[in-house]
Structure 1
Amino acid sequence: MSTQGTNKWPLAQFVLLALAWGASFLFIAIGLEGLSPAQVVLGRLCAGAVALAAISLVSRQRLPTDPIVWAHLAVVSVLLCVAPFLLFSWAEQSIGSGLASIYNATTPLMTTLVALVALPQERPTKVRLLGLFSGFLGVLLVLGPWRGTGGGTLAAQGACLLATACYGIGFVYLRRFVSPRGLPSLSLATVQVGLGALIMVALAPWIATAPVHLSPRVVGSILILGMAGTGLAYVWNTNLVAAWGAANASTVTYLTPIVGVSLGVAILAEPVAWNQPVGAVIVVAGIAISQGRLAGLGAWLRPPGTVTASGGDGPRRA
């Protein structure tokens, strides 16, 4: 895809990306009014696959031909699409869309944690360890263990954390086995989402058989969720990485919970307990620390004379 024109309005694409990913949890909640969790995932992946295929066709973007790449992308598709989408959709039967969006914001923390374990070059510096500790302290606050540990709500919150763990593993797998090949992001996203759609179509006769109650509200939500949140968002993210760099583009993660919580309160009248936004702020602070965005704190923690590399990549959403 030519970069001429695609990066003309990076700030506008940044805002659209934050809105698309932040609103995804609202559209999941609306989709669940007439569909089962598996049917929501099937609809969003099929709509996203169609959108990305159309964009690839118009831009004359060639898809990878190496079978090994397709095999790796099948694994990535399960980790970044099928499994987390199913987990979040299932969870939103018991918890609000705003709370789900807060848990989604832990993705960079999960990615950092997995990278520290799986990638030898990702050494656990004091700054990263402090960021991880702060972030997961925020997660504990959001969980609110003083409210009790029983019921479906806790299981749903655990499902959200398991979904972001899938994201963390998926991003590290992508970085280790696919990114070094230098393939265009749009073609990778098209194959990834397309394979996810095929996997869900294959599984549908067993997991997506619940009665369907369609309405304009439900259909519209699934189409927007798929075409924008699972389709166009990949293009906007690719353009932002090209225009601003991966580290700056990844700051969209800071805005998605704000969008998700705001929409959940405004449109679905979801209640918000005090500990949820406070915990979300601590999670975001942990992300900022782990990514080295608080330069003063990082300088204070580094040993004297330590030289740091510039322009490190932050965790990316696929």
Structure 2
Amino acid sequence: MNRVGVGGGGSWAGLRICVLALLWGSTFLWTELALEALTPVQVTVVRCVLGAVTLLAVCLGTGRRLPHERAVWGRVVVAALFCNAVPFALFSFGQRSIDSGVAGVLNATTPLWALLIGVLTGAERGLRPARLGGLLLGFAGVVLILAPWQAARPDGWGVLAVAVAAASYAVGFAYMGRFLVGRGIPTISLSAAQLLAATALTVPLLPAGGSVPVDIDPKTLIAVVILGVVCTGATFHLTYRNIAAEGATNTAAVGYLLPVVSVALGIVVLDEAFSLRIAAGMAIVLAGVGLTRRHARPPATVTRQPPTPDSATEEPAHRLARQGGRPRG
């Protein structure tokens, strides 16, 4: 098998990370606006439905087909549970009691959870003291934001829900990277199939909290459409592409850029407050994530995988970036 260095395609990787951070970071704003008219269950289902319809249209419009193997669909359902259904629902529930900026800060713990999962599963071996310190420091920041000593605070469950959602993302990314990408299936087919599976998992929840009447104004309708089409459909496909090109851990690292976007949008658009405790917790989380990333030891070489059908339509430089950064397996 041919081997290539990991140095190529850095500009493409950086561009994907920046675009993903901007789109993903704005998700918390649109979720906050959508919750003004919809229940958390309705927001969750609408995200999955609009995202699935968007990616399915792109998939069919480009001549791609959904996976047909039963084993692949079984893996897709598992990935949809951890990377879509569970975190979408928890974020919608959590943002009823916490600001969108705080949700973005807590979502920055995704790479910390990814590192912890890597340690527990053996994927991360020889963990350096600096990275271990970053892991512990990051979770200390989460504890500061959560403030469990304030027993009477009204947003405690919301903070906990969003923290668990971030952990669920990490599980989903790791699973997708290991069992779905790099196996000859176009990423557009996988992402469309996964949001279809997420829709099937979330629609049965409607009787439990999504059957209330909806009175939606144009502003909220626009927010819902952007949340479903752009921040769910387009962003999720971009996430899949980045996992295929850069690996699950590197993709999870985009989480530490989200607070900059989510906090800025929350303050400017929603006039959200920003307390000293939240600011300190955010700084500690980002410092912890920075330590885990700065001292990561990238592999010197990676195995070049056979190109997927997506490669036929990509520019040569983009295709080289994807092949150069794709994880083994």
Matched residue type, 1:210: V
Aligned to 1:304: none
Matched residue type, 2:166: T
- Aligned equivalents of 1:94 and 1:256: distance in 2? 19
Aligned to 1:191: 193
CA distance 1:250–1:84, shift in 2 (3 Å)? closer
CA offsets 1:205-240 (integer angstroms, 9 cap, x no match): 333112212111111111101111111113434555
CA offsets 1:129-155 (integer angstroms, 9 cap, x no match): 222112112212222345x12243111
* 1:280 shift after superposition: 1.9
* Alignment partner of 1:309 is 2:299: yes
Aligned to 2:218: 216
Aligned CA RMSD, in angstroms, stands at 2.9
Counterpart of 2:36 in 1: which secondary structure?
Answer: coil
Q: Return 171-180 or 183-192, whichever deviates more.
A: 171-180
TM-score computed with the length of structure 1 as normaliser? 0.82
Percent sequence identity over aligned pairs: 36
Q: 2:273 aligns with which of 249, 271, 274?
A: 271
Matched residue type, 1:86: A
* 1:74 shift after superposition: 0.7
Q: Return 20-29 or 226-235, whichever deviates more.
A: 226-235
- Aligned equivalents of 1:235 and 1:262: distance in 2? 25
* 1:269 shift after superposition: 0.8
Matched residue type, 2:46: G
Matched residue type, 1:62: R
Give the number of aligned pairs.
295
Counterpart of 2:155 in 1: which secondary structure?
Answer: helix
Aligned to 1:98: 101
Q: 2:39 aligns with which of 36, 40, 61?
A: 36
Gap runs ≥5 in structure 1: 1-6, 299-307
CA distance 1:12–1:124, shift in 2 (3 Å)? closer
- Aligned equivalents of 1:203 and 1:121: distance in 2? 35
* 1:76 shift after superposition: 1.2
Asked if 2 retains the 8 angstrom alpha-carbon contact of 1:105 and 1:254, the reply is yes
CA distance 1:153–1:115, shift in 2 (3 Å)? same
Asked if 2 retains the 8 angstrom alpha-carbon contact of 1:51 and 1:231, the reply is yes
CA offsets 1:271-318 (integer angstroms, 9 cap, x no match): 111222332232222223223x247xx8xxxxxxxxx7337999x9xx
Aligned to 1:255: 257
* 1:47 shift after superposition: 0.8
Matched residue type, 1:52: L
Gap runs ≥5 in structure 2: 1-9, 303-323
- Aligned equivalents of 2:22 and 2:94: distance in 1? 21
- Aligned equivalents of 2:58 and 2:213: distance in 1? 33
CA distance 1:183–1:251, shift in 2 (3 Å)? same
Aligned to 1:26: 29
CA offsets 1:158-202 (integer angstroms, 9 cap, x no match): 111111122222223333433463533222111111111122223
- Aligned equivalents of 1:239 and 1:177: distance in 2? 14
* Alignment partner of 1:287 is 2:277: no
* Alignment partner of 1:120 is 2:125: no
CA distance 1:220–1:173, shift in 2 (3 Å)? same
TM-score computed with the length of structure 2 as normaliser? 0.80
- Aligned equivalents of 2:90 and 2:250: distance in 1? 28
* 1:63 shift after superposition: 2.0
